[in-house]
Amino acid sequence: MEILKKITECRSIVNNIKKRGLTIGFIPTMGFLHEGHLSLVRKAKKECDRVFISIFVNPIQFGPGEDFVNYPRDIKRDISLAEKGGVDYIFYPTAKEMYGSDFKTAIEVKELGDIMCGKYRPGHFAGVTTVVLKFFNIIRPDRAYFGQKDYQQLVIIKRMVYDMNLDVKITGCTTVREKDGLALSSRNKYLSAGERKNATVLYGSLIEAKRMIKKGEKDLEKIRKTIMIKLKKNRFIKKVDYFDFRDPGTLEYIKKVNEGNRNILAAIAVQIGRTRLIDNMVIKV
Ligand code: AMP
């Protein structure tokens, strides 16, 4: 495994791989790797000749007052996990390498970036799409892998690829969870023991919504209100950003289980202590 810190280094490796007619799979990450990231690596290894990951805590996707400075970082551990997971190249640039000192461009997927998490994290998704497009241009992957855990991000990236005619296949991968249902996330590290125990409330709410839908409840607003009341009563939850039902393709808000028999995305974002956690589930109706 090689660690590449410079864009030029990365480009010359990519050129060699392409000259040999080999395919590249790519997984962008912010590091502090866990089994969720490694499941994406495994998928990429099955489908591609060479696997790149990036490890970059992208400053432009964090808002003022968010956790950019405190975001968990452990590059030594990441290198060892990536190596064991079979990653071929880690792209590990500095912010200066990525943005220099006079960066002026932003890629933004309109509307989709303003709802759900975008409403509470203005500019976040533009930061994500901008850095992902830069990575795509540097690494030129044939395939790129994203977790369904960040469902809105996956939809937005797919839309950017479609709108900008990018020649990369985007694959969404199943959310990896702890035994008690909590979705793996680098941010789980922030949770105190009590918070960690109560963090199962995210998955619990999704399961509860699924159960009500499966029982035949068609009024999603009613389910939403029932769940919101429970969430607001939980003393570990400092703030509920949203619990929404959305169309899994368009992210359009839905109020009723539909005549069209479509799947329903249930998505949740809450703050537990000082930690913002998200989760979601696609419910088949
Ligand atoms: P991050 O380092 O948190 O930016 O995540 C990098 C990639 O890993 C993103 O595509 C995430 O959606 C994905 N990912 C994060 N957590 C999980 C998980 N628990 N299961 C599957 N994919 C995940």
Res 259: pLDDT: 63
Is the CB of residue 27 less than 8 Å from the CB of residue 51? yes
pLDDT at 262: 79
Å from CA of 257 to ligand 1 middle: 29
Please give the structure tokens belonging to residue 68: 């950019």
Ligand 1 centroid to residue 88 C-alpha, Å: 19
**Structural contact between residues 255 and 278, judged by C-beta atoms closer than 8 angstroms:** no
pLDDT at 220: 97
pTM: 0.97
Task: Answer whether 191's CB lies under 8 Å from 198's CB.
Answer: no
Would the CB of 170 count as within 6 Å of ligand 1? Answer: no
Of 26, 27, 29, 157, best ligand 1 pocket probe by most atoms within 8 Å of the beta carbon: 29
User: What's phi and psi for 218, nearest 5 deg?
Assistant: -100, -20
The CB of 78 under 6 Å from ligand 1? The reply is: no
Residues annotated as catalytic (active site), given as ranges: 37
Distance CA 83, CA 280 (A): 30
The residues pairing with 242 across neighbouring beta strands, listed in sequence order, are 269
Nearest CA to ligand 1 atom 13: 147
User: Within 13 Å of residue 127, how many CA atoms lie on the same side as its CB?
Assistant: 17
Ligand 1 atom with least separation from CA of 39: 21
The b/e string for 228-248 (b: 16+ C-beta within 10 A; e otherwise) is eebbeeeebbeebbbbbbbbb
Residue 206's φ and ψ, nearest 5 degrees, are: -65, -40
pLDDT along the chain (285 residues), means of 10: 98 98 98 98 98 98 96 98 98 98 97 98 98 98 98 98 98 98 97 97 98 96 97 96 97 87 92 97 95
Q: Supply the pLDDT for residue 261.
A: 61
